[in-house]
């Protein structure tokens, strides 16, 4: 039997970020059923977008996270390929111009340096795009990071602080006594602890259930195409206004919404591979992607960026984004049992929000009043059906 001050369940960007912060003054064990960063955090794009977030609290949260990113590489003493390359949202159809104009106005008010560009200005920045697009919004504040390196870096830094990272270890039960957490049972042994952090992403509901905690987080499947290495041809990261519509306005524009929740997300890695997304579907945990989903992603990308036509796609990757229903994660104590924290449900914003999530969880368990402002809107009971 082992003893820990805290057990973090889940070794993706969220869990490793939390383990790193908690390990500062706690004896932490992180449990991961596979390898570090091999699930959702290893099947996502690399963008840290601010301008795609809803004005108001989501923007504030993303900004707080990005501030941590500014010095993260030096802090962790590991390479994470953080770069401020800027971000663009392409407006493909004239029909999207109005809501994007409105969106930019609100974003600007929220303190994000974002500008509306016409077709010519857009193509000057991204020559790979089609000449038929309507325009774009561009922000120099959007950035990017290598998500594979990010999980590894948080894990390595947590280890240096004394945390134990246990991979290939699956949680099989969570023990409680008199309404309090007393330990975690895994397939490798028992860990006595009074504090459990559920950072299991799309599997957070199953973990919560083991502790008798009700939690609804659904897996939303996302597929991204990966190309061969090519010369630099994309500057920073690109989304399309359809992505924005899929993300924020699905209920309003359902009639004309494309199949499989398609919306472009496009970027190029340091190695030269293009990441071309993506879809958003509720398919349970089914990893078998139907070929027509790939075709739909490819067709959408070809139309917006015809320069990509001849580029070869070498594989696809599938990730299950943890979906809460309102686009925000849950970072909160469970009501049903003492000592159980939920930090999951980041959906497509896990990379952007990983740094702040580690800090907020630490603030929560230390009862630090500085964090309460950002934690209030992330409480679990906001999602309860009234």
Whether 351 contacts 153, CB under 8 Å: no
Dig out the tokens for 222 from the structure.
């996302």
CB nearer to other proteins: give 193 or 316: 316
Given a contact cutoff of 8 angstroms between Cβ atoms, the answer to whether 338 and 126 are in contact is no
Return the exposure string of 321-338: e unless at least 16 CB atoms fall within 10 Å of the residue's CB, then b. Answer: bbbbeebbbbbbbbeebe
Which are the contacts of 71, defined by CB distance < 8 A and separation ≥ 6?
A: none
Is 227 one of the binding residues for other proteins (CB under 8 A)? yes
- Which of 10, 37, 222, 348 is in the footprint of other proteins by CB under 8 A? 37
For residue 100, the tally of other CB atoms under 10 A from its CB is: 20
State the minimum distance, in angstroms, from the CB of residue 256 to other proteins. Answer: 9
Q: Dihedral angle at the C-alpha atoms of 358, 360, 365, 366, nearest 10 degrees?
A: 110
* C-beta of 192 vs 298, nearer to other proteins: 298
Nearer to other proteins, 35 or 336 (CB): 35
Compute the least distance from the CB of residue 262 to other proteins, in Å. 7
Bridge partners (DSSP) listed for residue 197: 8, 341
Per rule CB under 8 A, is residue 276 in the interface with other proteins? yes
Answer yes or no whether residue 240 interacts with other proteins by CB under 8 A.
Answer: no
* Near other proteins by CB under 8 A: residue from 259, 282, 286, 370: 259
- Least distance CB 261 / other proteins (angstroms): 12
Q: Is 280 in the site for other proteins (CB under 8 A)?
A: no
Find the binder of other proteins among 313, 327, 333, 379 (CB under 8 A): 313
Quote the longest CA-to-CA distance of the chain.
66
- Among candidate residues 330, 316, 349, the one with its CA nearest the CA of residue 213: 330
Residue 302 binds to other proteins (criterion: CB under 8 A): yes
Q: Which of 89, 112, 195, 308 binds other proteins (CB under 8 A)?
A: 308
- Kindly determine how many residues on this chain lie close enough to bind other proteins according to the rule CB under 8 A: 41
Does 104 participate in binding other proteins (rule CB under 8 A)?
no
Task: Tell me the β-bridge partners of 198.
Answer: 9, 342
Task: Find out whether the peptide bond into 172 is cis, omega within 30 degrees of 0.
Answer: no
Instruction: Please list, residue by residue across 291-316, b when 16 or more beta carbons sit within 10 angstroms of its beta carbon and e when fewer do.
Output: eebbebbbebbeebbeebeebebeeb
Pick 292 or 335: Cβ nearer other proteins: 292
State which residue, 341 or 354, has the beta carbon closest to other proteins: 354
Q: Is 140 in the site for other proteins (CB under 8 A)?
A: no
Interaction mask 281-300, other proteins, x per CB under 8 A: ------x-x-xxxxxx-xxx
Residues 149-208 that bind other proteins (CB under 8 A): 152
Q: What is the C-alpha to C-alpha distance for residues 278 and 297, in angstroms, rounded to an integer?
A: 6
**Between the CA of residue 37 and those of 17, 23, 287, 288, 299, what are the distances in Å?**
11, 19, 17, 20, 30
Least distance between other proteins and beta carbon 42 (Å): 7
Q: Which stretch binds other proteins (CB under 8 A): 14-22, 55-63, 115-123, 303-311?
A: 303-311
d(CA 220, CA 310): 30
Q: How many CB atoms lie within 10 A of CB 177?
A: 9
Complex with other proteins: residue 177 or 232, whichever CB lies closer:
232
Which residues sit at the interface with other proteins, rule CB under 8 A? 34-35, 37-38, 42, 148, 152, 225, 227-229, 258-259, 262, 271, 273, 276, 287, 289, 291-296, 298-302, 308-318
């Amino acid at each position: 039997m082992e003893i820990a001050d805290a057990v973090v369940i889940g070794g993706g960007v969220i869990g490793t970020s939390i383990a790193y912060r908690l390990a500062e003054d706690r004896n932490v064990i992180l449990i991961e059923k596979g390898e570090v960063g091999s699930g959702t955090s290893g099947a996502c794009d690399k963008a840290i977008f601010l301008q795609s977030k809803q004005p108001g609290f989501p923007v504030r949260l993303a900004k707080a996270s990005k501030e941590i990113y500014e010095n993260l590489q030096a802090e962790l003493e590991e390479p994470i390929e953080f770069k401020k390359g800027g971000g663009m949202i392409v407006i493909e159809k004239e029909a999207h111009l109005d809501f994007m104009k409105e969106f930019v106005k609100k974003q600007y008010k929220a303190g994000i340096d974002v500008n509306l560009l016409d077709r010519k200005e857009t193509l000057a920045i991204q020559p790979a795009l089609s000449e038929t697009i309507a325009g774009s919004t561009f922000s120099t504040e959007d950035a990017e990071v290598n998500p594979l390196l990010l999980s590894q870096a948080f894990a390595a830094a947590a280890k240096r602080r004394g945390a134990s990272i246990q991979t290939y270890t699956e949680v099989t039960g969570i023990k409680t006594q008199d309404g309090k957490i007393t330990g975690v049972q895994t397939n490798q042994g028992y860990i006595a602890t009074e504090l459990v952090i559920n950072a299991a992403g799309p599997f957070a509901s199953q973990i919560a259930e083991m502790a008798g905690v009700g939690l609804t987080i659904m897996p939303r499947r996302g597929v991204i195409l990966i190309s061969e290495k090519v010369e630099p041809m994309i500057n920073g990261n690109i989304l399309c206004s359809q992505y924005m519509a899929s993300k924020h306005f699905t209920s309003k524009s359902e009639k004309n919404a494309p199949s499989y929740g398609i919306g472009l997300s496009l970027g190029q890695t340091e190695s030269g591979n293009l990441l071309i997304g993506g879809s958003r579907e509720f398919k349970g945990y089914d990893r078998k992607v139907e070929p027509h989903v790939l075709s739909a992603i490819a067709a959408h990308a070809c139309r917006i960026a015809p320069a990509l036509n001849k580029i070869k796609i070498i594989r696809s990757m599938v990730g299950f984004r943890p979906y809460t229903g309102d686009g925000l994660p849950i970072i909160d104590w469970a009501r049903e049992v003492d000592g159980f924290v939920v930090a999951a449900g980041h959906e497509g914003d896990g990379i952007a929000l990983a740094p702040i999530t580690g800090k907020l969880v630490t603030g929560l368990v230390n009862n630090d009043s500085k964090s309460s402002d950002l934690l209030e809107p992330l409480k679990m009971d906001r999602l309860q059906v009234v």
